[in-house]
């Protein structure tokens, strides 16, 4: 009698589990060669995947439970009700196939299942839907989804009819109540961290369920460091933090171990130079010929590299634009969860812009798109910057645009105009310029390069390089050019997937500092983090200032271990010359011997001193942020 009442539930469950399994198989096939997925590891992926699929199913069946509990018998037994159930089932199948297609495209782009990036995609629907429309043939895709769902509905028509009759033909209210129990069990006993089944990141991604991951990412946008992460005694961490923040020619303004504001003293006459920092979308170091790429995608940047101060061992802090902007602006290691750029109460920091504003500079954030995206306008406007975004471009200033923003050429022409306005007013200027062209759908004006628009990442990179070449050529004709420093850096890499917890090789980004009249061409091989860029550039300008930055001037050798910081939205990495330490939720900690040239990694026991150094930055950075100690007071 129990089975008769539950006839529809096994039918729906089996459909869900079959499609979820096929999705996992599809993603396994898509995983790059050399991913380290052994037969044993794949078996573990399959077993863990079933657990997460069942947990997701338990939540998905909650609407069915409520329906069973609430529908009156006279409706449930009516002839038309069977047609209604058939229609809902076809819709259910269509949603699952849509999810499968979405996971395919998401995995193809990021080599991960749904995560916090997908959460952003749900929030910023205008840009994301526009990007999808410009990138993929939506009509054939949706037509195919609809036809597949209808065909499956037709093939299962009789089976579904019998299941519906069995379910609604008797007393089914208690059956609905029973469906609440699996959801309660999933809530109490299953969490996203349990998908971390090995040190192989591909296996961890495949072991989860895309829908479950999406909801978990939405819930965990900000993680409490003290609650979820490995910590050391606070006094010990803060003492080590003060030591690591000490540099030549600076001193703490207070002897209180709980404060960290330092006064930076310049080592020469101040260079009151203009500053333009170009943050290039997704420009991994691997795309530049200077870093070994053979495709000749970046002739302008490669030429500039020989005329500039080139940093060859710099690592991005994260995998999103907002992480790069956070690191460059606040010089703070990445905190778990979402970037400070997107958090509430994110103003009043002692930022790069605020420091230069105190010296009479006009600081601007210039963005090719609409700055409400990722909360960028809100963040920069309360941290010392004036906003110039797409809404400030006149019609005749836009020659080409896609859903993300105006093309890089238009953006750079606007940057030159804004610089001219400040120069005419007698003010030195600092412009942080964020590009968008090197981003899917990779569209740009035709005829600029030898790769057609919308041909993929190589075209996006080559067009970005072309625009930089034009930018320098056009800026060189301006009266302020000779007294301006140009900085070219990426926000993050184009991809961040790999076998290890956090694949170090996928975080390498270029940094070029170009100012022919003031900075001699050279190569800086020192290991650096994105958070070191602001203090290093300010050092090159011989600036004296008060600082709460946790980054260091690369030209002031402190004698401490060279380090960089990398992260996903939950895992935090600490990179030295040949070691990688990783922290994660549930007090997770691991250490690897690494080869930064090849990306090879081998697990090894934790080094307590390295762990303390790591916590001095991450736990210490969290202390600064939570206690508002890096705000202007």
* Cα–Cα distance, 305 to 310 (Å, whole number): 6
Average of per-residue pLDDT across 430-436 = 98
At residue 186, the pLDDT reads 87
Domain assignment present for 233: no
pLDDT tens digit sequence for 359-389? 999 999 999 999 998 899 999 999 999 999 9
Average of per-residue pLDDT across 418-443 = 96
Q: How confident is the model at residue 162 (pLDDT cuts 50, 70, 90)?
A: confident
Q: Is residue 150 predicted with pLDDT exceeding 50?
A: yes
pLDDT tens digit sequence for 604-613? 999 999 999 9
Q: Are 422 and 338 part of one and the same domain?
A: yes
Q: C-alpha 344: how far from its chain's center?
A: 18
For 630, the enclosing helix (H) or strand (E) is none
* Cα–Cα distance, 57 to 186 (Å, whole number): 10
At residue 215, the pLDDT reads 84
Domain assignment present for 593: no
The domain boundary, picked from 505, 532, 550, lies at 550
Q: Are 280 and 179 part of one and the same domain?
A: no
Domain assignment present for 556: no
* Cα–Cα distance, 374 to 124 (Å, whole number): 8
At residue 145, the pLDDT reads 93
The answer to whether 437 and 408 have CB atoms below 8 angstroms apart is yes
The domain boundary, picked from 550, 568, 593, lies at 550
Q: How confident is the model at residue 3 (pLDDT cuts 50, 70, 90)?
A: very low
Q: Are 204 and 83 part of one and the same domain?
A: yes
Lowest mean pLDDT among 534-538, 571-575, 583-587: 583-587
Q: Residue 36 sits in which domain range?
A: 2-219
Q: Are 479 and 402 part of one and the same domain?
A: yes
At residue 1, the pLDDT reads 33
Q: Are 155 and 299 part of one and the same domain?
A: no
Q: Are 177 and 282 part of one and the same domain?
A: no
Q: What are the CA-CA distances from residue 267 to residues 270, 408, 504, 558, 559 (Å)?
A: 9, 37, 34, 15, 19
Domain assignment present for 237: no
* Cα–Cα distance, 551 to 511 (Å, whole number): 16
604 strand-pairing partners: 591
At residue 5, the pLDDT reads 38
- Angle at CA 342, nearest 5°, toward 336 and 348? 100
At residue 187, the pLDDT reads 85
Q: C-alpha 135: how far from its chain's center?
A: 20
131 strand-pairing partners: none
Q: How confident is the model at residue 2 (pLDDT cuts 50, 70, 90)?
A: very low
Nearest to 454 by CA among 624, 463, 55, 155: 463
Gap between the terminal Cα atoms of the chain:
71
Average of per-residue pLDDT across 94-112 = 87
* Cα–Cα distance, 223 to 491 (Å, whole number): 23
Residue 549 is encoded by which pair of tokens?
């930055």
Domain total in the chain: 2
Q: For the chain, what is the mean pLDDT?
A: 90
pLDDT tens digit sequence for 441-494? 999 999 999 999 999 999 999 999 999 999 999 999 999 999 999 999 999 997
* Cα–Cα distance, 347 to 340 (Å, whole number): 9
Domain assignment present for 613: no
Average of per-residue pLDDT across 263-280 = 96
The answer to whether 97 and 145 have CB atoms below 8 angstroms apart is yes
Which CATH number does the domain housing residue 480 bear?
Answer: 3.40.720.10
Domain assignment present for 33: yes
Q: Is residue 16 predicted with pLDDT exceeding 60?
A: yes
* Cα–Cα distance, 491 to 327 (Å, whole number): 9
Lowest mean pLDDT among 70-84, 146-160, 391-405, 615-629: 70-84
Tokens 């910081």 belong to which residue? 565
At residue 170, the pLDDT reads 58
159 strand-pairing partners: none
Q: Are 392 and 501 part of one and the same domain?
A: yes
Average of per-residue pLDDT across 153-180 = 74
Domain assignment present for 229: no
Q: Are 174 and 316 part of one and the same domain?
A: no
No. of helices (H) and no. of strands (E), the chain: 24, 19
Q: How confident is the model at residue 417 (pLDDT cuts 50, 70, 90)?
A: very high
User: Would strands 572-575 and 579-584 be described as parallel, antiparallel, or unpaired?
Assistant: antiparallel
At residue 32, the pLDDT reads 85
Average of per-residue pLDDT across 523-533 = 97
246: left (phi over 0), alpha (psi -120 to 50) or beta: beta
* Cα–Cα distance, 48 to 112 (Å, whole number): 16
The domain boundary, picked from 550, 581, 597, lies at 550
Q: Is residue 601 predicted with pLDDT exceeding 60?
A: yes
For the chain, percent of residues with pLDDT exceeding 90 = 65
The answer to whether 152 and 95 have CB atoms below 8 angstroms apart is no
Domain assignment present for 306: yes
Q: Are 359 and 211 part of one and the same domain?
A: no
The answer to whether 364 and 330 have CB atoms below 8 angstroms apart is no
User: Going along 395-474, which residue ranges are E strands?
Assistant: 401-402, 405-406, 429-434
Q: Are 314 and 441 part of one and the same domain?
A: yes
Q: Are 214 and 283 part of one and the same domain?
A: no
Classify residue 427 by its DSSP letter: -
For the chain, percent of residues with pLDDT exceeding 70 = 94
For 277, the enclosing helix (H) or strand (E) is strand 274-280
Q: Are 416 and 349 part of one and the same domain?
A: yes
Tokens 């090197």 belong to which residue? 438
431 strand-pairing partners: 276, 364
Classify residue 334 by its DSSP letter: P
Q: Is residue 173 predicted with pLDDT exceeding 70?
A: no
* Cα–Cα distance, 296 to 458 (Å, whole number): 10
pLDDT tens digit sequence for 318-332? 999 999 999 999 999
The answer to whether 280 and 488 have CB atoms below 8 angstroms apart is yes
443: left (phi over 0), alpha (psi -120 to 50) or beta: beta
Q: Is residue 598 predicted with pLDDT exceeding 80?
A: yes
For 616, the enclosing helix (H) or strand (E) is helix 608-626
Q: Is residue 174 predicted with pLDDT exceeding 70?
A: no
């Amino acid at each position: 009698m129990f089975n008769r009442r539950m006839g529809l539930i096994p039918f729906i469950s089996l459909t869900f589990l079959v499609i979820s399994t096929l999705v996992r198989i599809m993603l396994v096939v898509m995983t790059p060669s050399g991913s380290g997925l052994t037969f044993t590891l794949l078996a573990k992926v399959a077993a863990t995947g079933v657990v997460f699929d069942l947990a997701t199913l338990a939540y998905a069946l909650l609407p069915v439970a409520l329906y069973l509990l609430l529908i009156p018998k006279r409706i449930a037994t009516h002839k038309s009700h069977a047609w209604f159930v058939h229609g809902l089932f076809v819709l259910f199948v269509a949603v699952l196939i849509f999810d499968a297609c979405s996971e395919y495209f998401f995995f193809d782009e990021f080599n991960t299942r749904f995560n916090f990036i997908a959460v952003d995609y749900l929030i910023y629907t205008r840009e994301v839907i526009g990007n999808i429309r410009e990138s993929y043939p939506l009509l054939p895709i949706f037509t195919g989804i609809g036809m597949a769902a209808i065909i499956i509905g037709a093939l299962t028509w009789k089976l579904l009819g019998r299941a519906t009759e069995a379910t609604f033909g008797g007393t089914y209210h208690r059956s609905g109540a029973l469906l609440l129990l699996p959801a309660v069990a999933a809530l109490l006993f299953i969490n996203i961290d349990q998908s971390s089944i090995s040190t192989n990141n591909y296996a961890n991604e495949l072991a989860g369920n895309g829908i479950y991951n999406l909801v978990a990412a939405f819930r965990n946008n900000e993680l409490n460091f003290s609650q979820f992460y490995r910590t050391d005694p606070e006094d010990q961490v803060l003492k080590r933090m003060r030591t690591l923040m000490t540099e030549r020619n600076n001193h703490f303004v207070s002897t209180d171990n709980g404060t960290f504001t330092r006064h930076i003293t310049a080592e020469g006459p101040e260079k009151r130079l203009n500053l333009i920092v170009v943050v290039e979308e997704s420009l991994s170091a691997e795309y530049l010929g200077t870093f070994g790429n053979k495709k000749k995608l970046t002739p302008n940047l490669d030429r500039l590299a020989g005329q500039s101060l080139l940093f060859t061992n710099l690592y991005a802090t994260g995998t999103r634009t907002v992480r790069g902007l956070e690191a460059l602006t606040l010089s703070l290691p990445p905190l778990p969860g979402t970037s400070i750029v997107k958090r509430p109460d994110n103003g009043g920091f002692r930022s790069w812009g605020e420091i230069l504003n105190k010296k009479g500079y006009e600081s601007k954030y210039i963005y090719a798109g609409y700055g409400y995206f990722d909360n960028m306008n809100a963040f920069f406007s309360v941290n010392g910057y004036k906003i110039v975004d797409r809404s400030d471009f006149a019609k005749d200033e836009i020659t080409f645009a896609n859903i993300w923003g105006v093309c890089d050429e238009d953006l750079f022409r606007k940057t030159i105009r804004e610089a001219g306005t400040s120069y005419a007013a007698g003010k030195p200027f600092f412009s942080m310029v964020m590009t968008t062209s090197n981003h899917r759908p990779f569209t740009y004006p035709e005829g600029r390069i030898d790769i057609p628009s919308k041909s993929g990442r190589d075209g996006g990179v080559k067009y970005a390089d072309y625009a930089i070449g034009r930018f320098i050529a056009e800026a060189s004709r301006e009266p302020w050019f000779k007294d301006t420093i140009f900085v070219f850096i990426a926000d993050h890499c184009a991809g961040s997937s790999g076998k290890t917890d956090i694949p170090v090789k996928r975080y390498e980004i270029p940094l070029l500092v170009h100012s022919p009249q003031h900075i001699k061409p050279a190569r800086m091989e020192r290991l650096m983090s994105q958070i070191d860029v602001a203090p290093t550039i300010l050092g090159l300008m011989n600036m004296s200032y008060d600082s709460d930055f946790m980054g260091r001037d690369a030209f002031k050798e402190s004698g401490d271990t060279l380090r960089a910081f990398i992260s996903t939205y939950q895992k935090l990495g600490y990179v030295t010359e040949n070691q990688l330490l990783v922290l994660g939720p549930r007090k997770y900690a691991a250490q690897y011997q690494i080869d930064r040239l090849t990306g090879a990694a081998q697990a090894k026991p934790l080094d307590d001193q390295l762990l303390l150094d790591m916590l001095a930055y991450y736990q210490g950075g969290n202390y600064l942020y939570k206690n508002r100690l890096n705000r202007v007071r």
